[in-house]
Structure 1
Amino acid sequence: MARLSLLTIDKESPRWRSLRRSWYRFRRNPLSLMGLAIVVITIVIAVAPEYLAPYPDHAGYYINFKEAKQPPSMKHPFGTDEYGRDILSRVMFGFRFSMTLAVVVLSLTAPTGILLGLIAGYHEKTWIDAVIMRVADMFIAVPPLVLALSICSILPPNIMNAMIAVSLMWWPWYTRLVYNTTVSLKNEYFVQAAEIMGASKFHIMFREILPNALGPILTKLTLDVGWVILIGASLSFVGLGAQPPTPDLGTMVSEGSKYMPEYWWISIFPAMAISFIILGFNLLGDGIKDALSGG
């Protein structure tokens, strides 16, 4: 009985009620649910393309000129490319490389940017703030794609260097977001109360301020997945990302563009796959933003 009572009290806590209200607002939005469905489909395909792709061996070194450049059919729903490889299978494996790029880049940049933003925001108008934010502003001043192209152009073209290039340009955006949020929260009563009680700076930043900034951070993370994938595809399109025969979506679009418009499916279906992923994460991010903000 004591355990049941404790669970009941926990479910009625303010945080639990807030989560329930957010979920209620989220599921009332059809576009948010559509985005969630697209993201789930993308993740499932990215995790297990070996079991879902109709021709998994076409993701690597495979050549069959007898079936080259075949239009979409029951046997090959997306058609085949110039080497006779099934485009649907390669698109499915392309989901894995795109999601890997996004996960690695955001896993590196988000924690770094969040930490620097917290430190700079809490030490507003000090030399710490000046150094961190001026360096961040230098990176933000350069267009992301231009900076990524510049970095990749001096490194050997491969997926690892593409990840490095995108990571080096992405952290300042999280620094700026968390900095602004921290500056607005540090003067709130709950932060001042913690300071009066003698809480350490570490406790205030990570136990008081950061949890209240998770909403904007989560929204940006979701929206950034699409942008990171688009930047990675752009690098691959110009030959500075993943190299053939890696089934990268940007590389597939680039290779197929040489055969446009006669063999349109070689380029169009990988491009549609990129749009599909970006659409899903953008809809999901907008839904999360509306749910957390009460919109």
Structure 2
Amino acid sequence: MAETTMTAAATAAARPGRLKEFWFYFRENRGAVIGLWFFAAFILVAIFAPLIAPHDPTQQFRDALLKPPFWEEGGSLTYPLGTDAVGRDMLSRLVHGSRYSFYVGIIVVTFAASGGIVIGLIAGFAPKWIDTIIMRVMDIVLAFPSLLLALVLVAILGPSLTNAMIAIAITYQPHYVRLTRASVLSERSKDYVTAARVVGASKSRLMFTTVLPNCLSPIIVQAALSFSTAILDAAALGFLGMGAQPPTPEWGTMLAEAREFILRAWWVVTWPGLAILITVLAINLMGDGLRDALDPKLKRS
């Protein structure tokens, strides 16, 4: 009884210690900390978009077409960042667009990672012929440029934000399969896996309880980087007319609608482009920090 209590206390003490160690290495990368703050702001804006946005993102103000930002001549504080060609407030559309970008990142990473992890675990523990078949299929998918493959899939499924997310998730899945399989092959020969197998652990328990927790570090880093790439690819599909459809305030769709006004109204192109740039850059910086903090080879003594 006393031994069990001591073990539980030691485990509880180890968890805060691990979090403290993680934060110590993470904050050494100043870019990652800055990225974390920007990402936190991005999440807050996405959550509270209806409260932050001054107007409905699809509402058209016919008396304020292509209104410039408030600091330029003819601008107004009613529309701080100006309006687009049909009189919609740019700030409101940008704020609500963060919701779509966050939604895309979450859905794509969740589906790509969950499917990729399961397939990677199966490949790592399956007989060699099954492993070979799985990995050759993944190689075929990886042979296509991801955006081109996503375009083909969306063309088959039909242009929409939902189909764009499905297509992007399919193109990202092989990365998780290969990463998980490589981690499993590295872990399955270690003593703790052999010990679990000797005491009679089932294969599913070995896969999901014994080995998987020790493979999560590189997968978490990949998920962070995939989040930013998913936002970028969704914007690209929206720009090409294969993602979110007008009047959805998605950043890529906003860029597509603003193409013909680049010379007349710089703000209709600049703000969505900056939103994509800052969000993707912040998440990539945060992903670099996660890699530094979670990879023991990169930790400085």
Length-normalised TM-score, structure 2: 0.90
CA shift for structure 1 position 156? 2.4
How far does the alpha carbon of each residue in 1:146-192 deviate from its partner, in whole angstroms, 9 at most, with x for none?
Answer: 00111112332111111121122121110011011111111111111
Change in Cα spacing, 1:265 to 1:142, as seen in structure 2 (3 Å) is: same
How many angstroms apart in 1 are the aligned matches of 2:16 and 2:125? 28
Partner of 2:50: 50
The answer to whether structure 1 residue 64 and structure 2 residue 61 are counterparts is: yes
2:105 aligns to what?
102
After the TM superposition, which of the residue ranges 139-148 and 165-174 deviates more from structure 2? 165-174
Q: What displacement does 1:281 show? A: 0.9
2:206 pairs with 198, 204, 213, which one?
A: 204
CA distance in 1, matches of 2:149, 2:110: 20
C-alpha deviation, 1:9, in angstroms? 3.1
Matched residue count? 288
* SS of corresponding position for 2:154: helix
Tell me if structure 1 keeps the 8 A contact 2:120–2:180.
yes
- The 2-side partners of 1:276 and 1:65 are apart by 31
The answer for the alignment partner of 2:155 in structure 1 is 153
CA distance in 2, matches of 1:8, 1:110: 33
Rounded to whole Å, the distance in 2 between the matches of 1:8 and 1:109 is: 37
Match of 1:109, SS state, is helix
**Whole-Å separation in 1 of the counterparts to 2:144 and 2:229:** 16
Cα distance in 2 for residues equivalent to 1:32 and 1:6? 35
Task: Quote the residue 2:250 is aligned against.
Answer: 248
Q: Which residue of 1 aligns with 2:34?
A: 34
Q: Which runs of 5+ in 2 are unaligned?
A: 71-76
Alignment of 1:161-200 (within 5 A): 161-200=163-202
How much does 1:212 deviate? 0.6
Choose which of 95, 101, 116 in structure 1 pairs with 2:119: 116
Q: 1: CA distance between counterparts of 2:81 and 2:191?
A: 58
Counterpart of 2:88, as a letter, is R
Aligned to 2:73: none
Amino acid across the alignment from 2:100: F
Aligned-CA RMSD value: 1.8
Q: Secondary structure at the match of 1:65?
A: coil
Aligned AA (2:45): I
Contact conserved, 1:253 with 1:267, CA < 8 A, in 2? yes
Cα pair 2:108 2:227 within 8 Å, conserved: no
Distance 2:170 2:47 in 1: 26
Structure 1 contact 10–16 (Cα < 8 Å) conserved:
no
What CA distance in whole angstroms lies between the structure 2 residues aligned with 1:31 and 1:37?
10
Say if 1:64 and 1:83, in contact at 8 Å, map to a contact too: yes
Q: Choose which of 255, 259, 262 in structure 2 pairs with 1:260.
A: 262
Matched AA of 1:51: L
The one-letter code of the counterpart of 1:99 is F
1:139 touches 1:169 (CA, 8 Å); kept in 2? Answer: yes
Q: 2: CA distance between counterparts of 1:275 and 1:286?
A: 17
> Conserved in 2, the CA contact under 8 Å of 1:65 and 1:82?
no
**Which residue number corresponds to residue 219 of structure 1?**
221
Amino acid at match of 1:46: A
d(CA) in 1 for partners of 2:259, 2:290? 36
Matches of 1:167 and 1:242 in 2, distance apart? 16
Summarize deviations over 1:201-223 as a string: whole Å, max 9, x none. Answer: 11111112111111111111111
Aligned AA (2:231): I
Aligned position for 1:22: 22
| TM-score (norm: length of structure 1) | 0.92
1:10 aligns to 2:11 (yes or no): yes
1:153 counterpart letter in structure 2: A
Q: What is the alpha-carbon distance in structure 2 between the residues aligned to residue 249 and residue 256 of structure 1?
A: 11
Which whole-Å CA distance do the structure 2 matches of 1:9 and 1:18 have between them? 12
